[in-house]
A and B are shown apart, each in its own frame.
Chain A
Amino acid sequence: MDTNWLRKNTFHYSEFNDLNRLVDEKQRKNLAISLCLPTLNEEKTIAKEILILKSELMSRYPLLDEIVVVDSGSTDKTREIARSYGADVYQATDILPNLETFKGKGENLWKALYITKGDIIVYIDADIKNIHHRFAYALIGPLVLYENIKYSKAFYDRPIAIGKSKIRPTGGGRVTELVIRPLFSLFFPELTQILQPLSGEYAGYREIFEAIPFPIGYGIETSMLLDIYEKWGLDVMAQVDLDKRIHRNQDTKALGKMSFAILKTFINRKRKLGMVDYKDAIFSEMIQYNLVKNEYQPDIFNVRGHERPPMLDIPEYCNKFKRTN
């Protein structure tokens, strides 16, 4: 396997610390950059994310042109707080309301394409406790400084060799190491160079995002990688070490559901690519068991695997952005 990509397209955030340079490049190329924060009950972290990113990358350095929150129907004060700190806040259901309604992170990211105006869109999860503006500028850096790079993805905790004999683990989470990496190793060994394929922070040019489908739920990160890889190859991608990310931990059961959704997305993609010839239908229910009053009872989680088509297939979008499809 050629590991050139890992050497060439892997960066550390400190390589993009010169914010004036990024702003100059952005202005020279006449680019607009949008930041999207998908939310569902994030009242504890949303204000901090908006405030720091707005202060550092809008007020002090004009790198971002807008901060948009797309909310899945939070029942806490997420939307109210986000609005009070100056973000443009939307409920996902209010965007393209004539379409069937779905709920999930992928849905929010997809709909963000319709309401943002940037040539580059940065997606950052809204649950980061140690948010720092490097989470955005370091993803923007490769996109504005390198002509070939159209999509950049975060990884964390410096998961690279730090000396002759010292190797630190890749820092991938449990789902990455138990599900994604084995799958990539089996079917797309080149993609194993992406150290944390499930990281929730990525940025890219609109022309990339508008041309790929978006699964509604957990499968979004996996499908995005597979689709970009298939359409444009690995060379348009970069990964950036953002150092450390603190977020809330999920229990094993929740990770099981996530894994189910990812596997389903993966299998669907492979079918589409003609890489597997699997005749039977696959099921949509993840079945886990709980012990309730000495009886094992199934806990069924339905993953329908809905997927939004490429935004370029949506007439309203093409009208708004003057695209022809």
Chain B
Amino acid sequence: MDDYLEKLPEFVDIIRSIKDTIIANIVLIGQIPSPTFKEKNRTTVFMERLAEFQVDECSTDGYRNPIGIIRGTSESKPPIFVVAHLDTLFSKDVDHYYTIGKDTITGAGIMDNSVGVGVLVSLPEIFRQLNLRFESDIILAGVIQSLGKGNLRGIRHLLKTWSTPIRGAVCIESGELGRLSYYSEGMVRCEVECKISSTNGLEYKFKPNAILVINEVINQILQMRLPQKPRSRVIIGKTGGGVKHGIIAHEAKLGFEIQSTSDRMVKSIFNDIKDIIDGVGHEYEVEVRLKTISNVHAAKLKFNHPLVKSTVSVMKKLGLTPVSAPSESELSIFLSRKIPAVTLGITSGENHLQHNAKVDIEPMFRGIAQIAGVIMAIDSGVCDGHQLA
């Protein structure tokens, strides 16, 4: 096992030597708008680039997730998955053209998840430069419909329809370098919508204000007592409503997530919030709707799982300090299907989810070396016989 660890520091320099190719991939793919449900153009370029880099097979699955396969030397070892989500938070109207500075790349979506996707597409060339061959097939998958209302549909479909066992997986995110996610919290993502009839009927003596109704829902959520164990929280993430300063709002929306280490607790909190919403709707005599748009189950690898331990060793060998953080992305779907997996970040940056997100170029090379190291660890067998119970 130590064999591959020893090689890692020299990997960084070799990866840096093809910096132009890696950044070209990040930019050429990242500049194509790819809002959730409209990933087709990015998918096409992703496939073109994979084909350019001469993977052994390149196609889409039945859900149009683009996939490249690097054939391994063994016919019996199950494949290793490496995935990055293709969708972004930004609509196609947002300027996606990136600016490359001396040490940075700036632009919408660069931190979520253009670097991840660009690195994924570059892996065939990176493996060639590092002279790496694997026993397992390496499945490079750009998954669609991951974020928000996408509800991880791409990865769910890919894994549901994949016919063979899977040896292990690495999920790639642009940032932050040092992140090590090996567990997912249970999560339900919801939207609350309050609509008030705008007709001039006599049904209201004093017309209610949709923003204030949503405000009341927020207040009551904040008054809830949440347990410290299992650790649980409600995150109020999005809100909006109204059209004009001097007009009572007819519509307002609230987006929130319930997160907990226990699925049962997520469900219990969800039911409590549903009661709150029903109560507020009844009290204000307005329509308040609760809609679930996404959910994942809690799942985890133990910290002493060989994949986690190997990943920590890889990171430390590269001088990185692993920081544990939950991930409710592709990782949760792998783990819920009992497939050992981790999520890793490639580089550091700032303004993560904003139009002017910026990533640092130099740390990227260690970030990529760690991905290669973890794939080597899985290929050496650290997950074999340690599938999740």
Residues of A in contact with B (beta carbons under 8 Å apart): 43-45, 47-48, 51-52, 54-56, 59-60, 77, 80-81, 84-86, 129-130, 132, 246
Contact = CB atoms under 8 A, between A and B. Distances in A.
Contact of B21 (A48, A55, A81, A84): A55
Contacts of A44: 99
A81 B101 contact: yes
B20 A54 contact: yes
Interface stretch (B24-32, B153-161, B248-256): B24-32
Given A48-B99, A51-B24, A51-B100, 6 more contacts: A45-B99, A47-B100, A51-B23, A52-B27, A54-B20, A81-B101
B97 interface: yes
Interface of B: 18, 20-21, 23-24, 27-28, 31, 52, 97-102
Contact of A55 (B23, B99, B101, B102): B23
Nearest to A80: B102
22 contacts: A43-B101, A44-B99, A45-B99, A47-B99, A47-B100, A47-B102, A48-B98, A48-B99, A48-B100, A51-B20, A52-B24, A52-B27, A52-B28, A55-B21, A56-B24, A59-B18, A59-B20, A60-B21, A81-B102, A85-B20, A86-B20, A129-B97
A132 B28 contact: yes
Q: Is the interface of A mostly helix, strand, loop or mixed?
A: helix
A130 B97 CA distance: 7
Given A48-B27, A55-B23, A55-B24, A246 B100 contact: no
Nearest to A46: B100
A47 B106 CA distance: 12
Contacts of B27: 48, 51-52
Given A48-B27, A130-B97, A59 B102 contact: no
A325 to B, nearest CB: 40
Contacts of B52: 60
Pairs of residues from A and B, 5 with the lowest C-beta to C-beta distance, nearest first? A55-B20, A47-B100, A55-B24, A129-B97, A48-B100
A77 B100 CA distance: 12
A142 B100 CA distance: 31
Contacts, number: 43
A138 B340 CA distance: 46
B20 A47 contact: no
B36 to A, nearest CB: 23
B374 to A, nearest CB: 26
Contacts of B99: 44-45, 47-48
A43 B104 CA distance: 13
A293 B141 CA distance: 63
B19 to A, nearest CB: 8
> Most chain-A CB neighbours within 10 Å: which of B20, B97, B99, B102?
B20
Nearest to B22: A55
Contacts of B20: 51, 54-55, 59, 85-86
Nearest to A61: B52
Residue in B18, B21, B52 with the greatest tally of chain A CB atoms within 10 Å: B21
A246 B97 CA distance: 9
B267 to A, nearest CB: 47
Contacts of A85: 20, 100
Contacts of B97: 129-130, 246
Contact of A59 (B21, B100, B101): B21
Nearest to B18: A59
Contacts of A77: 102
A66 to B, nearest CB: 15
A84 B23 CA distance: 14
Nearest to B53: A60
Contacts of A84: 102
A55 to B, nearest CB: 4
Nearest to B97: A129
Contacts of A246: 97
Contacts of B21: 55, 59-60
Contacts of B18: 59
Contacts of B31: 130
A52 B20 CA distance: 7
A84 to B, nearest CB: 5
A162 to B, nearest CB: 19
A43 B28 CA distance: 19
Nearest to B17: A59
Nearest to A83: B102
A277 to B, nearest CB: 49
Contacts of A59: 18, 20-21
Contacts of A54: 20
